[in-house]
Chains A and B, each alone.
Chain A
């Protein structure tokens, strides 16, 4: 896949997620050169078995995380639209986590800075493996003028909806 020049977005179809966690492996290999699920910028949650889904940045149109950061450690990549973390500036205060409607950012497990998806500079590694495996949960699309922020939701909220989608009424009890 060629690196896209214009802002991109990763479309996501959670209910198809197989739970293979290849996206976590790809993301951590790319950014850390280790297989390191907790240091991946995309994390597959399984609060209920069978309801796995990838949790990662939705590039909200108003970027509340960037807005909230007191030390200006977060910025927007003008090329891709991704949130970029300045690892030196970031103090690990965690305010961006609270500002994010989906509580998406999380701390690097061993370093004192936050982790947010950087869209791999325009060539998302997670999408590549998800597509290779034909699960089609993740797909790169051009960024349009949509309400992407609606996708910034907490793991509990996403799980709750998936539970109902998959298990119907029974799904209401599983959390």
Chain B
């Protein structure tokens, strides 16, 4: 058995209620590592031969919760959620911070594989090797805060009853869905704590489709044995000492960017990306810090950065709203993107989005899109059930978010996410509204524009990514650049928070991997072989698509139309993406990763990586 792993996975079939433990060969662990890499491998092996026919929201989808060998050891614990994505029809490795991955490993499992669908709402309760499927009817319909509170109480009660002599039980770690996930909204998250989200991919909807409200896990064992504990301690110290020096990053996290990215790099979504520049000092970091923060450092297992903050609105209409202080993404997508520039309104919207179990990025993008259609008179008050989402009107956007989460009225159509809603609205109104949809392959873009060239410099960032608009996994050259998707695959497969690596030598993560697993891994091996193999599998599944949508690289390896409009304001006014340059860059990227001129992974490349069956499956697309 390889160090760093428990060696066991838990598999639960919700249709038959069959629960079993399974194992993977050491060789597979070594090649695919864990998390995102493992997700690609498991999904391909199990569903690859019929991928196109699999409905992500049907019982045939497989839902995964995967740790990696570094989870719990490398500072900043996370868990990777995956499956066939109801957004892209491909595979997204969607990670969320918290103790879940650590508890799971301490319970003796490297991951959980969920198949089938329950008849009635259920949750899983795992206490070491005791695994139960429990009734969740009483928490179905509950929001994030209520769900976590109720299940924490219930599970602690069970532990206390079953182990009366243990002493006080710490809470189990819980992953859950809110109402949006239950209602299979494609922008629904898998949540942790009250505020953390695995957003990209839409796996909250997959959990909802399986009627799986939550998973609670309490592991009482130690983390698995490692190859060299002294080395793990020493490398941890190197990372922490570096992080502790970076006080501004610790203090503000990504939150300082809500002002900076708009004012300086001019790449922040404003009113659905009609602009990317603002100079609203009312949205500066000091305003958040001094008006709404009630805890300045908040973090998850083993994290030296603790970049989160807890925020609460203290005054005005939205008094009492609580959330983690909106990070950059949510300051942008639930703030500037709606023409909102006050911390209070931004915190209120973030808190509501948490409660509903929606993704702030995907839903903020979707609502911004609706805002623009309203601005243009394409969607009217009548279409929107009497609502008028004017820029700056937090209440109107909040009302729409609620409709989406519960699929009420217009919310039912919007719950399909920006891309699918755009197709429907376009048909209904007979207008091309896709030009206003800022997304890529069904996944809305993170809040980093590419037009100014000062933030995300690569104009193929999203167009060529196997995770579409995911801003944490973008395409770039050279392939071993620290921002490259192939490097991100390492973080997402070893499963830890990459916010803790900014100041440390690039090789340290591979040294850490060796200290934990005992296995040698060089950056070259990783990028040219292992990561590339994972990338090809993700690309293959993305292109094979699903029953409702398929992507054609010629059409869909493309930027949103908006990015070809010149920036209308700010220091980079007039700048835009040059289409000819984009085509050139795309061609270079295709060549570097081994895709043919049509964007299909080349036969020779796949065979060399040992992916013969993927090669065969892609034959029909060539």
Contacts and interface: CB of A to CB of B under 8 A. Distances in A.
Contacts of B335: none
B300 interface: yes
Nearest to B144: A49
Interface in B30-68: none
A59 interface: no
A109 B298 contact: no
Contact of A20 (B73, B149, B302): B302
Interface residues on A, range: 35 or more
B152 A18 contact: no
Contacts of B6: none
Nearest to A133: B304
B378 to A, nearest CB: 40
A50 B148 CA distance: 12
B330 interface: no
A47 B148 CA distance: 9
Contacts of B297: 16, 18, 135
Contacts of B170: 37-38, 43-46, 155
Interface in B131-159: 145, 148-149, 152, 156
A127 interface: no
Interface string A131-175: 011110000000000000000001100000000001100100011
A132 B240 contact: yes
A50 B194 contact: yes
Contact of A103 (B99, B102, B168, B223): B168
Interface string A91-113: 01110010000011111011000
Contact of B167 (A29, A33, A35, A97): A97
Contacts of B233: 29
B166 interface: yes
Interface in A24-59: 25, 28-29, 32-39, 43-50, 55
Given A32-B222, A174-B149, A49 B240 contact: no
A19 interface: yes
B165 A94 contact: yes
A46 B168 CA distance: 12
B167 A107 contact: yes
B502 interface: no
B33 to A, nearest CB: 19
Contact of A49 (B194, B221, B302, B304): B194
Interface in B319-356: 320, 322, 324
Nearest to B149: A174
A44 B310 CA distance: 18
9 interchain residue pairs of minimum CB distance:
A106-B167, A36-B222, A109-B220, A34-B222, A49-B193, A94-B165, A18-B306, A18-B297, A38-B220
22 contacts: A18-B298, A20-B300, A20-B302, A20-B303, A22-B302, A29-B229, A35-B72, A35-B223, A36-B222, A36-B223, A37-B102, A37-B170, A46-B170, A47-B156, A50-B295, A92-B165, A97-B167, A107-B167, A109-B220, A133-B304, A154-B168, A155-B170
Interface of A: 15-16, 18-22, 25, 28-29, 32-39, 43-50, 55, 92-94, 97, 103-107, 109-110, 114, 132-135, 154-155, 166-167, 170, 174-175
Given A25-B302, A94-B167, A97-B165, 15 more contacts: A20-B306, A21-B302, A36-B221, A45-B168, A46-B170, A46-B193, A49-B193, A94-B166, A103-B168, A107-B165, A133-B306, A155-B170, A166-B310, A166-B312, A170-B320
